[in-house]
Chain A
């Protein structure tokens, strides 16, 4: 990594201004980076949010949403995002969310209009012929891809770091057709195409992300994913089949029904134990693949001057996922803010980087964010519940 002669970094500690990397941990913005400890890589992001604070925000949001008959929902979303963004500290400098509730509200009105049209269409089709409503359901998929791309763009244009905006170039329509094609290929190949489609879609999105006047790159190839993917798929199928073969649940149930007693109960317990054991092993394998996917995604993302890496380990990932599940279930949802913070810490604090950004030449993109000629369509920011 070439360092610029007079490139001064105040955080991250990659350089001391003379172009020589520092080995010792450097204090940057009130927290310690582990310097060059991880073979040239250093921690890139520190998420500093707390579950308790997020919980307080959620409770206030909940009450305000009720007394405003639901309208506050959009402002509530913004407040949560502002909290999450501003506590995501990247190289000593927090992110900033500049979206507003008004934008989300108008964006939602548009989506609601589309949704109502969709419902009417579905009703009309159903009246003509019951089978035709499937057609309407199929229309939702492209709409979903389109909306996803738009939502990513909206969030990026409303994100600033060091005063400089992010952006997403490219057309949502093109992404829609691309994603449709990939889904079709996945369907035809019985998901064997999946790693390749991951590579294609990630490249389209990440390769179009901008920070200021510089472009992110994505160099991920499907080949390295395939081994893990096939292992995971075979594992899931294998454990699934084993679960059904080894645990003869129907027989056990019948036995339990015909002569209930300790004998029947025991065989049922064994069958259930085997079945769920296999189910858990299957989930374990799929989670392992998710972890591989995240590392692949991060490791292949680049930006001029820096490389990224995720030091996420499967053990840690699995532990957080499982404990979060219990955290949410056992508290009947009250624990959700804590679970969210734990997940974010897991993903963000394991992001490492190597190299240094050319801050002086990272200029604000001349194009103003909302000037894409699509008005409030930019605020196409919805988590569609389909």
Chain B
């Protein structure tokens, strides 16, 4: 490599297409990595080297073929990069200006091209394998990781968080009159509800104090916030036809509380978002958002199906222990399904079904449990008196 000397550059002609008498320029420009000064040059193959020569024929540089890096895109004009022994960039460049120059250079670089392709393919295969391994590990390990995090959360904190969640959700869903939330809770109804909750709690052996509140809303849904705060909509109370059904639903929600499903799914979603942020960068754009949203939905809905199944099983055991009729929950599901079939546009019912596993499968599971458990050892007690049931149904008046 020659050192540039700006004071004497006799070998650089004023090469331009306008001066054809000096011969056509070869279409290469050489930069020595020290200055931005272009040198009109020509190339000459020399075994495993590429020689860069001045128009006068003097050698300006000699690049070993395996020290040449091709640019990612070889649209003209493009520049070849020259590396040092250790792989460091020398700053030297050879710019290929036109098609004729490219045609002369390309055959010399065939080997370089194949090599580069092979190395990058190898690298990618290894990286892909590593990434998939990591992904699988995460897929299996993630639920355990979130459970570990959740088990660190003290019960007090969970209860406080749950109350926040309950108030927020309640305010969001409730009917409003001139901006004021309409409350439900006539004393007789609330007393009956609390008595039922108390009865179930006694056999639940749960560390959480259960409290049920009713939201004034047309939506048919029940909701368990972390820490024992259970929400039931008035729409749900209208939809249920017997106290047994209500007892089943309450026991189901208590299952969610006991297994800390609320906290677990919150931690899971939060963790997934952080992971998604880590992995995808913050790729804004249609593609990135859709892919991420889809992945999040698929993962969380698969968890929630597991959670629902667990809560159903819990509900069954709880009702059995309390000596109550265990068929309420399945009766309720059956009617919901019938309603949905009757009127596919019945949004409230569909809203409840959406994140829940196929209702038919849940009914079948409950029936199976019923059969496996056999006849109850004790005579069933009634859930509540007809009078109390009436008060519960009119709880919003």
Contact = CB atoms under 8 A, between A and B. Distances in A.
Contact of A332 (B76, B78, B286): B286
A71 B92 contact: no
Interface in B251-301: 274, 276-288, 291
A10 B38 contact: yes
Contacts of B187: none
Contact of B72 (A10, A86, A363): A86
A364 B33 contact: yes
Interface stretch (B9-17, B195-203, B205-213, B238-246): B9-17
Interface string A98-142: 100000100011001001100100000000000000000000000
Contacts of A383: 282, 284
A82 B81 CA distance: 14
Contacts of A68: 127-128, 131
A70 B73 contact: no
Contacts of B72: 79, 82-83, 86
Interface stretch (A24-32, A172-180, A271-279): A24-32
Interface stretch (B93-101, B303-311, B353-361): B93-101
Contact of A74 (B9, B37, B38, B281): B281
Contact of B71 (A8, A96, A359): A96
B31 interface: yes
B187 to A, nearest CB: 33
A69 B279 contact: yes
A326 interface: no
Nearest to B284: A385
B45 interface: no
A359 B35 contact: yes
A62 B131 CA distance: 16
Given A364-B91, A385-B284, A67 B17 contact: no
A26 B18 contact: yes
B349 interface: no
A246 B48 CA distance: 78
B158 interface: no
A23 interface: no
Contacts of B343: none
Most B-side CB within 10 Å, residue of A48, A96, A165: A96
B71 A30 contact: no
A143 to B, nearest CB: 14
A86 B281 contact: no
A16 interface: yes
A17 interface: yes
Given A30-B97, A160-B91, A364-B91, A70 B32 contact: no
B283 A73 contact: yes
B36 A86 contact: no
A119 B76 CA distance: 47
B47 interface: no
A68 B128 CA distance: 6
A55 interface: no
Nearest to A48: B75
A362 B35 contact: yes
A30 B99 CA distance: 9
B36 A362 contact: yes
Given A30-B97, A108-B281, A162 B77 contact: no
B277 A62 contact: no
A330 interface: no
B40 interface: yes
Given A163-B32, A361-B35, A336 B285 contact: yes
A124 B95 CA distance: 56
Contacts of B29: 10, 93
A382 B282 contact: yes
A86 B71 contact: yes
Contacts of A208: none
Interface string A54-68: 000000001001111
A30 B35 contact: no
Nearest first, the 6 A-B pairs at minimum CB distance are: A70-B279, A360-B6, A333-B286, A70-B280, A163-B31, A362-B36
11 contacts: A8-B9, A27-B17, A30-B76, A71-B279, A73-B280, A82-B73, A92-B77, A112-B278, A359-B35, A360-B6, A382-B282
Interface of A: 6, 8, 10, 16-17, 26-27, 29-30, 48, 62, 65-71, 73-74, 77, 79, 82-83, 86-87, 89, 92-94, 96, 98, 104, 108-109, 112, 115-116, 119, 160-165, 212, 332-333, 336, 357, 359-364, 382-385
Given A30-B98, A357-B36, 5 more contacts: A77-B281, A86-B71, A112-B278, A160-B91, A164-B31
